[in-house]
Amino acid sequence: MLQFLLRRLTGAVVIMFLIGAFTFFLFYTIPQDFAELACGKNCTPENIAVIRENLGLDKPITAQFWEFMGGIVTGRDFAVGHCPAPCLGVSFDSGDFVWESIVDRFPLTLSLTVGGLVVFLILGLGSGMLAAWKRGTPVDKFVSGASMVLSSFQIYFLGPIVLGLFVYSTGWMESPKYTPIGEDPVAWFTGMLIPWAVMATIFTAQYTRMARSTMIEQLQEEHVRTARAKGMRQRYVFFRYAWRGSLTPIVTILGMDISALLTGAVVTEFTFDLAGVGRLAVDSSLTKDLPMTMGVMLFGAFFILLMNIIVDMAYAYIDPRVRLA
């Protein structure tokens, strides 16, 4: 296991370097003076020259690249001060360090992800197992039908309906907002409740169908039929053999969903007017804030690689047939 982790971590470092290089040179092929972008409107040539020198844009592109990559590891010095590692540059729009802006927005996105994840996993996997257990019965038909209907909804469609019904019309619930959990746990919970519910509705349908289909497939495997033939109880066979084997494809999709949610639930944050990492990515692209856009892309790539490693490790625990060579 240790050798596996070392290999994966080494590969992740190489991949992150390649992604960083590709992202850097991709943005630098844009026919636009970065100093002008950072300076904004009504900027004089003198100000542009000062900004170009302060940001190191007057240096050759290769020197800028190595300063950028080195800043991620050791930090960099700018005219506005020292940028500690991991330094992803200075925002053209706000003048703040990119990494500090991402870290400031990340707790909201993390709260949105973790809360929604807990809700839709419990509901989705639970209802999928129930449908597989009661296959062919009215319970199975009801759960399958409900999941098909709910899967047709989208967050940008269901979100405004929920807001209009429970917030604006009846006033039963407060408008979604983020409060740090350390300041007020109750306000944190109530402020995230509607986004969690909407996300859970959408994702629950997906995981219900997936859990049901994989459970039914596992119940037809030879080792499960053998366990039944030996006289083991149906409940024991269901949870001990079939359930564990059905988790492998679910873990794969779950890892992808967590990566996407952690790197910015763009639609969810825009629907409920929440300022998370996803909203930061969209805003920075609209304002042509290239350092912020590059930083969010690298931040997302890091989490995708991290979740891939965690998923591979989970395979070895879930399925004994998997061997980490």
Residue that wins the pLDDT comparison between 233 and 84:
84
Q: Please give the pLDDT value at position 99.
A: 92
Q: 186 with 317, same domain?
A: yes
As to burial, measured by CB atoms within 10 angstroms (0-12 exposed, 13-18 middle, 19+ buried), residue 252 is: middle
CA angle 244, 245, 248 (to 5 degrees): 100
Distance, C-alpha 90 to centroid of its chain = 24
Q: Please give the pLDDT value at position 316.
A: 67
Q: 172 with 40, same domain?
A: no
Q: 38 with 170, same domain?
A: no
pLDDT, mean of residues 32-40: 70
Q: 67 with 142, same domain?
A: no
User: Is the model's pLDDT at 194 over the cut of 80?
Assistant: yes
Least confident segment among 68-77, 106-115, 130-139, 233-242:
233-242
Q: 125 with 166, same domain?
A: yes
Q: 249 with 151, same domain?
A: yes
Q: 164 with 212, same domain?
A: yes
Question: Is 20 inside a domain boundary?
Answer: no
Structure pTM?
0.82
Q: What is the 3-state secondary structure of the chain?
A: CHHHHHHHHHHHHHHHHHHHHHHHHHHHCCCCCHHHHHHCCCCCHHHHHHHHHHCCCCCCHHHHHHHHHHHHHHCEEECCEEECCCCCCECCCCCCEHHHHHHHHHHHHHHHHHHHHHHHHHHHHHHHHHHHHCCCCHHHHHHHHHHHHHHCCCHHHHHHHHHHHHHHHCCCCCCCCCCCCCCCHHHHHHHHHHHHHHHHHHHHHHHHHHHHHHHHHHHCCHHHHHHHHCCCCHHHHHHHHHHHHHHHHHHHHHHHHHHHHHCCCHHHHHHCCCCCHHHHHHHHHHCCCHHHHHHHHHHHHHHHHHHHHHHHHHHHHHCCCCCCC
Domain that holds residue 54: 33-87
Q: 41 with 169, same domain?
A: no
User: Is the model's pLDDT at 104 over the cut of 70?
Assistant: yes
Length of the chain: 325
Q: 176 with 57, same domain?
A: no
Q: 124 with 247, same domain?
A: yes
Least confident segment among 26-30, 82-86, 185-189, 283-287:
26-30
Percentage with pLDDT > 90 across the chain: 6
Question: Is 134 inside a domain boundary?
Answer: yes
pLDDT, mean of residues 261-287: 82
The CATH number given to whatever domain includes residue 234 is 1.10.3720.10
Question: Is 309 inside a domain boundary?
Answer: yes
Q: 179 with 123, same domain?
A: yes
How high does pLDDT run on average in the chain? 82
Number of domains in the chain: 2
